[in-house]
């Protein structure tokens, strides 16, 4: 038994060993979802997710032995959130971070914080945990004051021990009782003053890295349950094909094969060992006969379809008072389908025993998956438990929910046996829900002085989120017998979401109109990819701004500053320009510099970014040599962790921009591996990537995981225009496209 | 007197003849230089002409030979090993000092047609002017426009390292008299326009025969064994005539797919020097590639009924073969390597070409198969294309031997290869 | 029975001889570091070292490894006693999700065993077969540079020999 197995299995017993508070705990976590929705009168607003799970001990639990557990409903996806949350709790509880046990998403244990998405983890969970920890600390101190008969202000708190001037002391463990922290949180907390912070704002090594670099059990892929069997699912060759017949008998005879499972067009094989399962999967694929399948549009058909398909119109900005127009500039832009492309294909583990179905998943939302799986196998929701375990970075809604559901579906039909489903590389490449294709159109007018007098922006896109959609959103749900119909797409209701995220320009504009055309259906499977529509909206706006600046004859950095009021925006732009050495000097032929800026969701992290690149006209090669970026995420919890996120976003955004597009041949997805879907490799990384962080300890935390992809795309596009004199409207800038556009 | 006079007349005749010969020889040997011209600006050419030149240059594979490994594009310096010594490709960027920046279009035209440099020197036929001579004036114009608008790079090519007497350029006069048929391509009116276009490109600019036709002891292509298979950088360039070793016969469609996309499910992916050729062809006009495929398919000729039946049976066998080996009798050492390593991609309906359909295991020499196993196949970074990893670290030499022996006997009907071990050593030693 | 030596420890394994090493490491030996990423030799997540060479374990039939020395990240040290490369990766925080990391490390280790002071260009060229989707390439570069210097300084302990118990820690 390895440590991960142990941890996963014993989480409840760990909690159960924690002393008096435990009794109330399960009541707490069960009660909340209903309570929050139902109880009038409207309760006061509490910080972050405390607003949904309002009792302190839903977040912070102290055992009789003094051990402290912190609960989060947000998942570690490689973004370092576990470490940041521990830092917050340790800071406010005045504890050594090493002593804190973080309990990660588990439908049976932790608060329901929905999806770990939209760069909201610090906002939701971070604020909840920090405030809960601060309030717990004050309650513990007050209790100590009473018990030690001392003035609270005179007590000294160190490492979980509260000491009175008399020398008498009590530990957290000694102070805690069943009801002490089982209280509703207050809207205001006594947070540690910025000047007294010891952990927040300082880089702390990530808690998950040691296991990851020493071969520890760090991933769901490493979970080995006793008696666990390995399964593989055989998918249809194309979307929409159905399984006509399959000779299961010959596969059942293969060494190690325990079961061949078919339900409608859902076909899977279960074997003792992993490679036996793979061999059986291949034979099964060889003998399975499929029929039918739908047509797929490649490019440009997909873009044509986008504009023709039925769409709902959402007005994002409606402030249309066109002024004088001396000059009009117009452009249309396209972005193809893009993959999440996790390096580790999705994995799911499930175990059905005693009428309870437990699913281990590396997805972004254990609670929505719990609901979907319950529907899939037709079990009451309280008989399904979903537990998050780290996986390969997912960057949004990839195959992870499906793999979890695959495992659940098979395990449900093999009671008593833990089942591990591992997707193969082509499963992930062909079946993950892609980031949708998009089309944007923009036209602006300038007056004689070069000021923008009108701005018209339209974005066409299908949904950027096909979950939660219950069992209908899962491949198992639509390939099984009596399939659930495929999801009906609903237009977004909240601002800055879906395809219109960052469609609203951040700039001061006297007149602007922004329309989101929510396209109701397209053949390719899509869902949320890191940044949703923001990446491409920012690309469009930023490259267009550059064009407008050029038309106005103003330096693009200067032009942006003129159109921005927000001093924080100004600061990241100025800092980037300074560190980059922004200048108006002409670069040698074939070289260019470009600038990009955005505030993610117009409410999260500010990022400005400058790029220098070389363009080789002969090969069409775009070589990014240097990227300098500055970010402002409000109060910084873990500066190195933040830098890591911004850097990663720059690299991923660069890869999307230069290389990536999902392709098909009219029927099947042809980008089925890294050979047909190239992403950035070492030889293409810029020589230099510098990220500068502006810390604002007096401001709220802002999400950063999705903040840099859009700005870097804009900066690359602008640098390319600077190098070539040509405005690129279509992504990606593959060599082939560059040659076609530039000519020889 | 009479005698004398006869003698003197004879002498005169001989002398005159000699003089004529000398004059002709001198004229052949000592060619006049073209004077230097100002390097033309990009604006001197029509953009469409430059683009046309780019497409043609891609077919001519100019970049591959005129670029040193890791060096600046078209700046020369790539060594070409010949039986006569090493020849380095020249800098054809428009740099004035080290490239062709001072060349007039006439000088360029003469080089392409006759193999004579701007200053009148004879060029070695490693530069395939024996093919380029077939180009039309218009196409030479386009190539000039393209070449002269590249980024100039200062880079002097290393001196050739040729054995005596091959270092005497003047001797090429004789070679040219024997092997150069100068003059533009003459269409065959009995064939379609597409066929003629293909023939023009294949025989001329694409100079396919340079590698795919065997050469004689003077380094010239053997006219009696046209497309009979040759070598390039020690790689086997398979025959492109009736003796093509492809397990399933090539036709125009498969050739076009292969040349255009770099992968054909019935034949596989190019490797070695051909990988560069095909990579360059991705820039060519699709219609030109198709025309080349049509012509080449005609050169190869339609398969005999027997060959066709054999190929059909092979495809049927490959497609229906179970994706798992029979294990009752255990697997041979080579089979273990095949099933554990190769089969992950090369079993039918996976990513790579099934070995039984690839000509690699049907060639006379194991060089290509071994080179691919040892070095792998790597598309240019950022571009789509088949990836095969190197197996040099995973497999010992002996295990590679086991594998190719197994593959040769299982996936071709040819006799076993000899000297596989030596060939592995040579390849690992940089093909020496 | 196939006899292997993994991180200096002799192992006997009963599998088909053509089973790729990756599945033997993960399934039979319960080692975690080598990861399944593609099974096609395209991503490097499964990289291990065989006789000093970086090798894709997903495409290496296990029986060809008899009599050869296999090394995985578990053989470089442990959480409590990390080897120089592991220390460098920890100190440089050279991971995001970390799924590619063990493969990156084994490729880097192979380089550092051949070349004690690789240039940046050497490292970049050598690391080319390994993909990272999170964008940690620069951090990995920093870590490899740091590991090179750690390996040279006296206080850095050499790569731990038998440490197959790493998985249990
Ligand atoms: S898993 Fe072996 S190279 Fe990708
Ligand atoms: S750290 Fe996530 S793939 Fe490299």
Query: For chain B, which residues make up each domain, given as ranges?
Result: 42-179, 193-428
Domains, chain C, ordered by start? 2-75 (3.10.20.30), 76-163 (1.10.150.120)
C139 touches C160 (CB < 8 A): no
- Residue indicated by tokens 């795919």: B212
Partner C contacted by B398 (CB < 8 A): no
- Residue indicated by tokens 């699913």: A359
The neighbour count for residue A166, using CB atoms within 10 Å, is 10
Q: What is the mean pLDDT of residues A384-406?
A: 97
Compute the distance between CA of residue A164 and CA of residue A169 in angstroms, rounded to an integer.
6
The nearest alpha carbon in chain C to A75 belongs to C97
Q: Which of residues 664-693 of A touch C (CB under 8 A)?
A: 673-675, 679-683, 685, 689
Using CB atoms, pick whichever of B341, B345, B376 lies closest to residue C61.
B341
Mean pLDDT taken over chain B? 92
Residue C166: what pLDDT? 36
Compute the distance between CA of residue A287 and CA of residue A696 in angstroms, rounded to an integer.
62
CB B344 to CB C60 under 8 A? no
DSSP code for B186: -
Tens digits of residue pLDDT in B178-216: 888 888 899 999 999 999 999 999 999 999 999 999 999
Residue B313: what pLDDT? 97
- What is the DSSP annotation of A12-57? HHHHHTT-TTHHHHHHHHHHHHHHHHH-SSPPPP-SGGGGTS-BGG
The neighbour count for residue B419, using CB atoms within 10 Å, is 11
Compute the distance between CA of residue C77 and CA of residue C165 in angstroms, rounded to an integer.
10
pLDDT above 90 covers a percentage of chain A that reads 88
The yes-or-no verdict on residue A34 having pLDDT over 50 is: no
Q: Is C41 in the pocket of ligand 1 (CB under 6 A)?
A: yes
The yes-or-no verdict on residue A20 having pLDDT over 80 is: no
Domain ranges of chain A: 11-210, 220-293+340-431, 438-464+499-743
- Could you tell me the pLDDT band of residue A601, with boundaries at 50, 70 and 90? very high
The yes-or-no verdict on residue A201 having pLDDT over 60 is: yes
The yes-or-no verdict on residue A42 having pLDDT over 90 is: no
CB A286 to CB B151 under 8 A? no
Tens digits of residue pLDDT in A293-340: 999 999 999 999 999 999 999 999 999 998 888 999 999 999 999 999
Please give the class, per CATH, of domain A220-293+340-431.
Answer: alpha beta
Compute the distance between CA of residue B13 and CA of residue A740 in angstroms, rounded to an integer.
64
Residue B3: what pLDDT? 53
Compute the distance between CA of residue A452 and CA of residue A459 in angstroms, rounded to an integer.
20
Residue C165: what pLDDT? 38
Higher pLDDT, B102 or A34: B102
Q: Can you name the CATH fold of A438-464+499-743?
A: Aldehyde Oxidoreductase; domain 4 (3.30.365)
Task: Give the residue from B327, B334, B340, B381 with the most C CB atoms within 10 Å of its CB, the best one to mutate.
Answer: B340
**The tokens of B212 are what?**
């795919």
A46 touches A187 (CB < 8 A): yes
- Could you tell me the pLDDT band of residue A470, with boundaries at 50, 70 and 90? very high
Q: What is the mean pLDDT of residues A508-517?
A: 96
The yes-or-no verdict on residue A661 having pLDDT over 60 is: yes
Residue C89: what pLDDT? 98
Tens digits of residue pLDDT in C75-130: 999 999 999 999 999 999 999 999 999 999 999 999 999 999 999 999 999 999 99
- Could you tell me the pLDDT band of residue A40, with boundaries at 50, 70 and 90? low
pLDDT under 70: residue ranges of chain B: 1-6, 432
CA-to-CA separations, A173 to A22, A62, A71, A609, in angstroms, rounded: 13, 6, 18, 49
CB B335 to CB C129 under 8 A? no
Mean pLDDT taken over chain A? 93
Compute the distance between CA of residue A208 and CA of residue A218 in angstroms, rounded to an integer.
7
The yes-or-no verdict on residue A35 having pLDDT over 70 is: no
CB B340 to CB C50 under 8 A? no
pLDDT above 70 covers a percentage of chain A that reads 94
A316 touches A533 (CB < 8 A): no
Helix (H) / strand (E) element for A596: namely strand A591-599
Where does ligand 2 bind, in terms of residues with CB under 6 Å? A 78, 343, 393; C 95-101, 132-134, 136
The yes-or-no verdict on residue A16 having pLDDT over 80 is: no
Residue B432: what pLDDT? 66
Compute the distance between CA of residue A681 and CA of residue C45 in angstroms, rounded to an integer.
13
A717 touches A643 (CB < 8 A): no
Partner C contacted by B335 (CB < 8 A): yes
The yes-or-no verdict on residue A36 having pLDDT over 60 is: no
Q: Is C45 in the pocket of ligand 1 (CB under 6 A)?
A: yes
What is the value of pTM for the model shown? Answer: 0.93
Please give the class, per CATH, of domain A11-210.
Answer: alpha beta
Interface pTM, i.e. ipTM: 0.93
Higher pLDDT, A83 or A40: A83
* Ligand positioned closest to the Cα atom of C60: 1
Q: What is the mean pLDDT of residues A152-166?
A: 95
Fold match between A11-210 and A220-293+340-431? yes
CA-to-CA separations, A489 to A276, A307, A468, C141, in angstroms, rounded: 39, 17, 11, 44
């Amino acid at each position: 038994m390895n440590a991960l197995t142990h941890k996963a299995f014993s989480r409840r017993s760990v909690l159960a060993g924690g002393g008096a508070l435990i009794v109330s705990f399960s009541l707490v976590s069960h009660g909340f979802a209903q309570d929050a929705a139902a109880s009038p009168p409207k309760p006061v607003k509490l910080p972050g997710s405390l607003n949904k799970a309002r009792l302190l001990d839903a977040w912070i639990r102290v055992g009789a032995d003094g051990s402290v557990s912190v609960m989060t409903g947000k998942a570690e996806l490689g973004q370092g959130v576990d470490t940041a949350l521990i830092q917050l709790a340790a800071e406010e509880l005045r504890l050594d971070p090493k002593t804190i046990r973080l309990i990660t998403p588990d439908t049976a244990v932790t608060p329901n914080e929905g999806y770990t998405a939209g760069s909201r983890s610090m906002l939701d969970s971070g604020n909840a945990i920090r405030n809960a920890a601060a309030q717990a600390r004050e309650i513990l101190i007050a209790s100590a004051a009473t018990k030690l008969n001392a003035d609270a202000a005179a007590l000294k708190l160190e490492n979980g021990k509260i000491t009175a001037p008399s020398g008498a002391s009590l530990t957290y463990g000694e102070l805690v009782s069943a009801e002490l922290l089982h209280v509703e949180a207050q809207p205001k907390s006594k947070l540690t003053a910025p000047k007294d912070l010891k952990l927040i704002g300082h880089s702390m090594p990530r808690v998950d890295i040691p296991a990851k670099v020493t071969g520890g059990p760090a991933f769901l892929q490493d979970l080995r349950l006793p008696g666990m069997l390995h399964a593989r699912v055989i998918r249809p060759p194309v979307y929409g094909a159905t399984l006509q017949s399959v000779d299961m008998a010959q596969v059942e005879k293969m060494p190690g094969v325990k079961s061949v499972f078919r339900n409608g067009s859902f076909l899977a094989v279960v074997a003792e060992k992993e490679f036996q399962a793979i061999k059986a999967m291949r034979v099964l694929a060889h003998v399975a006969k499929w029929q039918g399948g739908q047509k797929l549009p490649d490019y440009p058909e997909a873009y044509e379809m986008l504009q023709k398909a039925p769409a709902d119109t959402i007005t994002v900005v409606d402030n249309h008072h066109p002024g004088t127009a001396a000059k009009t500039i117009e452009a249309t832009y396209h972005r193809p389908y893009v993959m999440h492309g996790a390096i580790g294909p999705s994995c799911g583990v499930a175990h059905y025993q005693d009428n309870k179905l437990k699913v281990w998943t590396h997805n972004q939302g254990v609670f929505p998956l719990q609901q979907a799986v319950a529907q899939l196998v037709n079990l009451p929701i309280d008989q399904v438990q979903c537990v998050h375990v780290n996986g390969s970075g997912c960057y949004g809604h990839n195959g992870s929910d499906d793999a979890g559901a695959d495992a659940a579906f098979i395990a449900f039909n093999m009671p008593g046996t833990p089942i591990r489903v591992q997707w193969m590389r082509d499963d992930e490449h062909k079946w993950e829900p892609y980031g949708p294709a998009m089309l944007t159109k923009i036209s602006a007018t300038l007056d004689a002085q070069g000021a923008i007098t009108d701005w018209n922006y339209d974005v066409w896109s299908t949904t950027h989120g096909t979950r939660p959609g219950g069992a209908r959103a899962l491949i198992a749900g639509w390939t099984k017998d009596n399939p659930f119909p495929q999801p009906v797409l609903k237009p977004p209701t909240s601002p800055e979401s879906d395809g219109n995220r960052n469609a609203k320009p951040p700039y001061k504009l006297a007149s602007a109109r922004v329309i989101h055309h929510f396209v109701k259906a397209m053949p390719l499977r899509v869902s949320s990819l890191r940044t949703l529509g923001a990446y491409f909206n920012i690309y469009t706006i930023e490259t267009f701004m550059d064009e407008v600046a050029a038309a106005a004859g103003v330096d693009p950095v200067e032009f942006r500053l003129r159109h921005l009021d927000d001093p924080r925006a100004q600061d990241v732009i100025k800092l980037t320009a300074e560190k980059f050495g922004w200048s108006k000097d002409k670069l040698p032929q074939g070289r260019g510099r470009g600038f990009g800026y955005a505030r993610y969701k117009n409410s999260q992290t500010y990022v400005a970014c400058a790029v220098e690149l070389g363009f080789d006209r002969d090969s069409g090669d775009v070589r990014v040599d240097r990227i300098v970026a500055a970010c402002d995420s409000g109060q910084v919890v873990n500066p190195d962790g933040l830098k890591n996120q911004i850097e990663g976003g720059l690299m991923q955004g660069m890869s999307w921009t230069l290389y990536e597009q999902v392709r098909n041949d009219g029927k099947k997805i042809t980008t089925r591996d890294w050979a047909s879907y190239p992403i950035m490799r070492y030889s293409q990384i810029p020589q230099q990537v510098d990220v500068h962080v502006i810390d604002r300890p007096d401001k709220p935390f802002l999400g950063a995981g999705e903040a840099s992809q859009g700005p870097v795309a804009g900066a690359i596009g602008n640098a390319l225009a600077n190098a070539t004199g040509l405005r690129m409207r279509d992504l990606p800038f593959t060599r082939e496209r560059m040659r076609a556009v530039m000519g020889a | 007197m009479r005698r004398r006079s006869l003698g003197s007349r004879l002498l005169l005749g001989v002398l005159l003849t000699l003089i004529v010969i000398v004059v002709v020889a001198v004229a052949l040997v000592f060619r006049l230089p073209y004077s230097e011209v100002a390097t033309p600006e990009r604006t001197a050419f029509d953009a469409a002409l430059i683009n046309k030149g780019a497409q043609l240059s891609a077919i001519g594979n100019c970049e591959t030979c005129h670029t040193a490994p890791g060096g600046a594009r078209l700046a020369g310096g790539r060594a070409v090993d010949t039986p006569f010594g090493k020849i380095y490709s020249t800098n054809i960027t428009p740099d004035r000092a080290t490239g062709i920046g001072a060349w007039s279009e006439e000088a360029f035209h003469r080089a392409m047609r006759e193999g004579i440099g701007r200053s009148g020197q004879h060029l070695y036929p490693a530069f395939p002017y024996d093919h380029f001579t077939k180009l039309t004036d218009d196409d030479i114009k386009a190539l000039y426009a393209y070449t002269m608008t590249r980024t100039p790079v200062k880079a002097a090519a290393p001196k050739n390292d040729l054995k005596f007497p091959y270092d005497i350029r003047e001797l090429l006069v004789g070679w040219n008299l024997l092997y150069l048929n100068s003059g533009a391509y003459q269409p065959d009116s009995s064939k379609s326009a597409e066929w003629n276009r293909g023939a023009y490109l294949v025989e001329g600019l694409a100079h396919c025969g340079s590698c795919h036709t065997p050469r004689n002891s003077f380094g010239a292509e053997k006219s009696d064994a046209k497309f009979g298979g040759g070598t390039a950088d020690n790689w086997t360039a398979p025959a492109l005539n009736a003796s093509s070793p492809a397990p399933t016969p090539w036709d125009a469609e498969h050739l076009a797919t292969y040349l255009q996309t770099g992968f054909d499910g019935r034949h596989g992916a190019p490797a070695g020097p051909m990988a560069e050729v095909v990579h360059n062809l991705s820039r060519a006009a699709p219609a030109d590639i198709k025309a080349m495929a049509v012509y080449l398919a005609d050169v190869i000729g339609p398969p005999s009924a027997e060959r066709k039946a054999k190929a059909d049976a092979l495809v049927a066998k490959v497609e229906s073969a179970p994706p798992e080996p029979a294990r009752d009798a255990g697997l041979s050492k080579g089979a273990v390597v095949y099933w554990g390593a190769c089969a992950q991609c090369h079993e039918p309906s996976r990513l790579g070409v099934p070995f039984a359909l690839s000509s690699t295991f049907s060639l006379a020499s194991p060089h290509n198969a071994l080179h691919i196993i040892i070095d792998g196949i790597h598309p240019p970074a950022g571009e789509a294309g088949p990836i095969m990893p190197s197996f040099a670290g995973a497999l010992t030499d002996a295990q590679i031997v086991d594998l190719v022996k197994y593959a040769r006997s299982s996936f071709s009907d040819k006799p076993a290869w000899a000297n596989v071990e030596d060939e592995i050593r040579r390849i690992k030693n940089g093909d020496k | 029975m196939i006899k292997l030596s993994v991180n200096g420890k002799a192992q006997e394994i009963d599998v088909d001889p053509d089973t790729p090493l990756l599945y033997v490491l993960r399934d039979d030996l319960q080692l975690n570091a080598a990861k399944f990423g593609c099974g096609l030799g395209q991503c490097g997540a499964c990289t291990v070292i065989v006789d000093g060479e970086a090798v894709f374990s997903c495409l290496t039939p296990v029986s060809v490894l008899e009599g050869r020395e296999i090394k995985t990240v578990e053989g470089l040290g442990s959480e409590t006693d990390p080897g120089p490369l592991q220390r460098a990766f920890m100190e440089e925080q050279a991971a995001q999700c970390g799924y590619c990391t063990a493969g990156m490390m084994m490729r880097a280790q192979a380089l550092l065993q051949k070349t004690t002071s690789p240039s940046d260009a050497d490292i970049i060229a050598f690391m080319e077969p390994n993909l990272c989707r999170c964008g940690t390439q620069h951090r990995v570069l920093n870590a490899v540079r740091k590991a090179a210097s750690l390996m040279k300084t006296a206080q850095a302990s050499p790569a731990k020999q038998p440490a197959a118990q790493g998985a249990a820690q």
